[in-house]
A and B are shown apart, each in its own frame.
Chain A
Amino acid sequence: MSKPLDGLRVIDLTQVFAGPTCTRILADLGAEVIRLESPNRVDITRNLIHTDNDGKDVPWERTLYFCIRNAGKKEVVLDLAQPRGLELLRRIIAESDVLAESFTPRVMRAFELDYEHVRQIKPDIVMISLSGYGQDGPLSDWAAYGMGLEPASGVSQLTGYVGGPPVRSGLSFTDPYSGFIGAGAVLAALHYRRRTGKGQYIDLSEQEAAVPLVGGALTDYAMNGRLPERIGNRSRWAAPQGCYRCSGDDDWIVISIESDDEWAAFCDAAGHSDWAADKRFATVDGRLEHHDELDTLIESWTNGQEHYEAFHLLQKAGVKAAPVLNGKEALLDAQFKARGQFEIIDQPHQGKRPVQRHLAAKFSAFDADVAGPAPTLGQHNEEILGGLLGLDADELAALEEQGVIATKPNLPFPAELVSAALKLPYDGFLENGTLLALEDDYQKQLGLE
């Protein structure tokens, strides 16, 4: 099966979440993505959330976070602090079509690997920098983590309970969002390159990338000088819409009614012709005005319903609804199963594991499926440095001896101590409610055994 980016090589200097999301999509589309890590400073997600909460004697090979985002990529480990390491990277760049990086801007300048230098190595390269605040402007050198950039983009001011403070989403939301945008940006630049032979540089500021999400609020401010209030789960133009408690421990359903017909269908499905007959609720304006009261009525019905059953009941009646899924429910959901949202990889040191798709598009002529497990540290040193650059076995052995290349990180402590220090406090999390449950037989439940 041919994929659209077959034969394209990407050198990937990104870390953590946004950049690896971008390059994971390129890998799923057929590109050969070569990750670069340093033995002294591995990707911090190689230290984040271990399988079975135990890194054992190879903590850098047992983190779920790293695996899901880097599945299907290759990896070279080079110490860029040594001139020989930097030189080898420059030689890989010379053989690449795309360079992706996500350092703060001064880092690539310090390596003399900013675009002006990179284009001298490979004139038609497409280079993308994913950074927190962009490559220029007064904040360009600010330190940035994903959890700060959703707020910085303005989205958090629109998120929150009515009357409450601004809220972050329960993930570093603009990271995957920017990664998606970045993948499209690279594809657009490649389209231009196919047409003209010219490469170019893409400056993606994660803060800016997500500002279009608040585009409606921006026009409201421009037209009316008005700032939006936080409206929880409600809609600004239709009612009722909300998230309602169902039977069960912590089960919820979302219901979104956007027309008079849907309102009538909902009342019918819920067995409440009295609500349909109530004149206060007959129009959108009336339903918006009496939203609090509607919420109470609707929840009096959902309280006795199982969330999946109510979902099917309402959808079959023509009402927009969805169960609010947790991670386990998503893995077991019939729709996600039918559409292959989670694929099984066989990951060294971890076994068979489900990884989510990173590109939702389904193609009739090919499948943008995952290309394989995530690479172990430096797994492809020999393949890339020997195969692509032509170094012989003696040279590779010398590089390993000098610590220019490696297949293990330089840790300050024994691996078991690192693993112990990185264990998350799951007993406390179960007690305070950060975790709903911890199930020993999960591999059996998921059919992974």
Chain B
Amino acid sequence: MDLPIYYTRAEYIETDTGNKVSRRATISGPQNIILGGKTIIASGAIIRGDLRRTGPGHAVVISLGRYCLIGEGCVMRPPYKTYRGNFNYYPMKIGDHVHIGANSIVEAATIGNHVEIGKNCIIGKFTIIKDCAKIADNTVIPPNTVVPALALFAGSPGRFVEDLPESTPEMVEAQTKQYYTRFQPLPQER
């Protein structure tokens, strides 16, 4: 029912697994970033895959699941801390069907499946967001916060507002899938 969201074909790179990544997004250290498929990275997003754990060998810094959306101007940065005298970055893991609104800054450690994050949010370092949680627009989640499953958080600092309905997983899944099908190149370019 909803209208398609058009983009110019020249701007987006589409991978074999259906990921759509804007050429205007800044992807640092792409070898350390995993996209699950059908994930959209909008223009102006910054993904810091280069901030990897010190040490030899291959390291996954940021992993995203299927049907995710990184909105315009988002910053995805792995969390860091000094533990036992050593400064280090830690990996960021994001599940399936996660939408992150425009201009949000995310330094979470783990984000579950079916999570919605609004626009202009700040998700502090080492935040853990469980499945089906929702972060309202303009929320500031301080570092080390835990957001339980099926909870709506809002405000600064972000606090629990209400329980989300039991049908949230199905709703979010339908929404994210629909968003992916709506997101298509301009008809005259096809």
Query: Do these two chains interact?
Result: no
Which residues of B approach A to under 8 Å, CB–CB? Answer: none
